[in-house]
């Protein structure tokens, strides 16, 4: 569903071979490649969150599409759409110069 330019999923988290945890993807012809390495006391939690990122991005995109199509309004829905757009922009922006401010009109970028 996502058109983002990230390494295709399915990503998984596992204990690293040296220290910390790794997030890995599958090579088309077998084997794994490392997407990220996580260290520190929260390494397992961070690795699982990173591994879930492609699925979370697809879920948010689908929810935003459905929310826009249903035209449901209200403070909770509007704020949810703003947060969803902010998350998608953060995940897919090709520049580091993005202002992540939330305004009444949406996300400023």
Tell me the domain boundaries of the chain: 12-107
pTM, rounded to two decimals? 0.73
**What are the pLDDT digits (tens) for 29-53?**
888 888 999 988 899 999 999 999 9
The Cα–Cα gap between 70 and 55 comes to 23
Tell me the pLDDT of the chain averaged across its residues.
79
What lies within 8 Å, CB to CB, of 63 at 6+ separation is: 84
Q: For residue 43, how many C-alpha atoms fall within 13 Å in the half-sphere facing its CB? A: 14
């Amino acid at each position: 569903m996502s058109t983002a330019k990230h390494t295709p999923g399915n990503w998984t988290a596992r204990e690293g071979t040296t220290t910390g945890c790794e997030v890995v993807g599958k090579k088309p012809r077998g084997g794994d490649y490392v997407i990220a390495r996580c260290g520190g006391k929260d390494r397992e939690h961070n690795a699982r969150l990173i591994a879930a990122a492609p699925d979370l991005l697809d879920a948010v995109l689908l929810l935003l599409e459905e929310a826009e199509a249903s035209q449901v309004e209200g403070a909770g829905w509007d704020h949810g759409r703003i947060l969803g757009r902010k998350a998608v922009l953060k995940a897919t922006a090709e520049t580091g110069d993005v202002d992540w401010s939330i305004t009444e009109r949406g996300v400023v970028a």
